[in-house]
Every structure is written in structure tokens, then in C-alpha cells.
A = this chain, B = another copy of it.
Amino acid sequence: MSKTDHLHADRLLPSADPALSVARELYEAVKDLPIISPHGHTLPQWFAENEPFSDPAALFLTPDHYVLRMLRSRAISYDALGVPRKDNGEVAEGREAWRLFAANFHLFAATPSKLWVDHSLQWCFGINESLNAENADAIYDTIDARLADDDMRPLALLDKANVEAIATTEFALDELPYHQIMADNGLIGRVRTTYRPDDVTDPDAPGFAANIERLGELTGQDVANWEGLIEAHRHRRAFFRTMGAVATDHGVPTANTVDLALGEKQTLLNHALSGQLDAAGAELFRAQMLTEMAGLSAEDGMVMQIHAGSRRNTDPLLMNERGPNLGADIPTQSNFVTGLQPLLARFGNAEGLRVILFTLDETTYARELAPMAGYWPSLMIGPPWWFHDSPQGIRRYLDGVVESAGFYNLAGFNDDTRALLSIPARHDVWRREVCRFLAEFVAEHRLSKQSAAEIAAHLSYQAAKDAYRL
């Protein structure tokens, strides 16, 4: 790696000795460890079909809501960036959008997007400069020319990135056709699905009642009955496990849970199916479902991931014109202490249970997550999520959680990405930041170099395997 400014070998490490030398040594020992990617949003179709990617914009720009939103915030329209419209109205083509992206790449100064894009361009295409208006076309052409090569296909990229295991995320009703293909090809294990039942646990999900009905059909259970509904989940979880699933995932607006009596639960379900739930009822339904999922995890050993606190689709115009996941989801304040109390009172000491908590509210790191994970054997803390998966975000995270939770209640790293090419870049940022943090502790004589080396390796690789029971 280069010693020049662009992707300097020491980037993100402490800028001076004694910490710099320690960090370099720590990083050298972990930078080439295999990648464990236990949570993310790559498409199973890529790995099942192993077809080449299409154009550069489709690879770097249109699927990356981090990049799109920043450009939009500076008054560059999604039409001009080639983001598809529901009405199939015209939007810019790939090269045109790419030029806009490149000409505005200075907007990404000091953002993680710049780190990821720069790193991906170098890692995959040997490009040693940042995008700009001048080199936009040349870089577009370089990428475009390479896309058809065999070593650019999805499975080859997994090899090149040294990905030992990667999890995709599918909804409960998904029949996992691509994972079926992978099962036939012996790929399950390296690629795994994850059970994300938001489609049937969140009454606000589009088509919720129909989804529940479909769940009944898929499992042969009477899902209008609460116990049948839970049994149906039991079936789907088992099916997902045949496709490698070791974990579930729950995207919820809050971490609220409840532990209601069966009669109350049945009433909630009745109202949900007849469309009679108000906002408070929908929240109660989600809250009860989290508790149910914890119960099932205690039973079947699937690791439960809770991603709480995103307010989704805050721009009705965008939602209307183009749909979800395009940058209008915003973090909200979270309360894990009050929220998780009913779940923990019921299952917190259950031997089989493991819950990994993710937050978008950094104030919960030192106040809630670290004290909770430092007590409950069932709780671990997931890595910094979304907006906080960034160098400063990782610094605030480690600063906030380590003293109360230690290193061994952390679940290692998740890249959580839709952008396959950025996976090595994201893990690399995590590893650099971990080494930086540890090196500073060594330099302050709070940690021996040997302990730091063990912890660096743990957080770079083993922690994720352990946390997800891989």
C-alpha cells in the first residue's frame, strides 16, 4: 500500500509515536485475516448465479444510499443521479450520473464514503487517485472494461477479499431460491441467510395481513391463533437454518418489548389481522414479537440481532416517487433500559439466548448498552451501525463501551453493506481503528502489547465467529 497521501499505509492510525509504531505492529498482524461478514445486505442472487456486474454507476452509485443522500443534500437531484422512479420516468444514464458523482466527489471529504470508494477503486481496479471531474470518464472506462472479467464475478470477489463467511438477510416469507441453488453448489456455510421476519412481525409492514396469511400457507399453521403464529415462526426459522442461518434480525423503530398474557396477545393479533391496530397497538405488537423471538432464540440457539431506532422513510415525496432505502431514514433517540426490561426479565438469563444490540443513538453506548452487556450473559453489543460505522464513530463507540463491557462482550464487526466491493474497505477501517484504539491504550501503559495483539485479532476476526456461533 502506498505511502503517499492517497490511501497512505498509515491512514487512520495515530499520527505520531509511540502510539503509531504500536498501531502499525498491531495492524500488520490483523490486516490479512479472513473476513467474517455475519450481517449485511448483499444479494444472494449474485453468489447463486455468479454473473458479472453491469455498469460502474450500478456498482458504486445507485445502490449506495450514503453516496446518493450526500449528493442530494447539495441539491443534486435523484433524477440526475439515475435513481429509478416508480413511474419509470426518465432518469440520467450511468455515465452521466457518474460524471456528476465524480465532479462532486469533494463533498465526501472526511466521510467514510470517501474511504470506502477510494479503497474499493484501488483494491478492485488499481486506481490510485480519487474521483474528480477530470478523471471521471477515464475511471468509468477502466471499471467498465474490467466488469466482464472472470475475476470480477461475485464469487471471485469473495475469494479475492478473503471472505470466509458472509450472511445475507431475507424476510420470513422468502423461499430462499438462491440459497437453494447455493445449497446444491455446496456454497451454504460460506454464504448463509438470516431470518428477518419484519414482514410478519411489524403490523406497519406493507401487506401485513396478507403476509401473515402467506406465512400460514407456507407452514401449514393456523396463524390466526397466537400459538399457531409462533409455531409458524418455529417452522420458518428451522427452514432458514437449513440454508445456513445462524441468526435472526429485527429492524424495529424502538427497542420496546412487552410480555403479555396469552389472551392479550390473541387480541392484539385479531386486531392486527382485521386492520384495527392504531399506532400504539402496532408498537405493542412489535414489542411482544421481540419477546417471542427471544423465546424462540433461547429454544433454537439462533442469535438474535436487534437493530433499533431508525425512523424510516421520513421524506414522503421520495417514498412516493422512488421507494424506501434511499437515504431518508434518520436515527432517533433510543431507550434500551426501559425497552428491553420485559424481554430480559423473562429470558435474560436463559442459557441459549444471545441478543446482539445495535443502536443509532450513541448516547446509549456508555449509559445503557455497555452496562447492560456487562451484566447480562445473553447480551452482546454489535459494532457501530450505519451513520456511526465510520472512523470517528468507531472511536466514540470503543471509547463508550469498552470500560463497562470489556472487549469480550463485543460482537466484532459487521459491514452491513449492499456494496460488495466495499466489504474489504469497511473491515479495513474497523481493523485500523481497533488497532489505533489499542495502541493508544498501550502507549498510555494501560494494556500490554501482548494483550493488545490478542484483542486486535479477536475483534478483527474471532469475535464475530464467536458472537454468531459460527
Residue numbers in B under 8 Å from A345 (CB-CB): 314-316
> Is A448 within 8 A of B387, CB to CB?
no
| The residue from B5, B330, B335, B376 contacting A333, defined by CB atoms under 8 A apart | B335
Residue numbers in B under 8 Å from A330 (CB-CB): 337, 368, 371-372, 375
Given contacts A345-B315, A444-B13, contact A112 B405 (CB under 8 A): no
Closest B residue to A373 using CB positions = B73
Residue numbers in B under 8 Å from A392 (CB-CB): 399-400, 402-403
> Is A331 within 8 A of B5, CB to CB?
no
| The residue from B331, B368, B446 contacting A115, defined by CB atoms under 8 A apart | B446
A404 → B minimal CB distance (Å): 5
A327 at the interface (CB under 8 A from B): yes
Given contacts A315-B375, A377-B72, contact A15 B443 (CB under 8 A): yes
Residue numbers in B under 8 Å from A373 (CB-CB): 73
> Is B406 within 8 A of A375, CB to CB?
no
Given contacts A331-B368, A441-B110, contact A72 B403 (CB under 8 A): no
> Is A446 within 8 A of B11, CB to CB?
yes
- A313 and B337 alpha carbons, distance in the complex (Å): 12
A177 → B minimal CB distance (Å): 34
Residue numbers in B under 8 Å from A109 (CB-CB): 406-407, 447, 451, 455
Considering only residues 368-418 of chain A, those with a C-beta below 8 Å from chain B are 368, 370-377, 379, 387-388, 390-393, 396, 399-400, 402-409
A247 → B minimal CB distance (Å): 19
Q: Which of A45-53, A147-155, A358-366 contacts B (4 or more CB under 8 A)?
A: A358-366
Flag A51-74 by CB within 8 Å of B: 1 or 0 each. Answer: 000000000000000000110111
What copy number does this chain have within its complex? 3
Closest B residue to A403 using CB positions = B390
A332 at the interface (CB under 8 A from B): yes
- A78 and B13 alpha carbons, distance in the complex (Å): 40
A16 at the interface (CB under 8 A from B): yes
Given contacts A311-B337, A330-B372, contact A406 B445 (CB under 8 A): no
> Is A107 within 8 A of B17, CB to CB?
no
* A-to-B contact residues, CB < 8 Å: 5-6, 8, 10-19, 69-70, 72-75, 106-112, 115, 311, 314-317, 327-328, 330-333, 335, 337-338, 341, 344-345, 348-349, 360-363, 366-368, 370-377, 379, 387-388, 390-393, 396, 399-400, 402-409, 440-441, 443-449, 451, 454-455
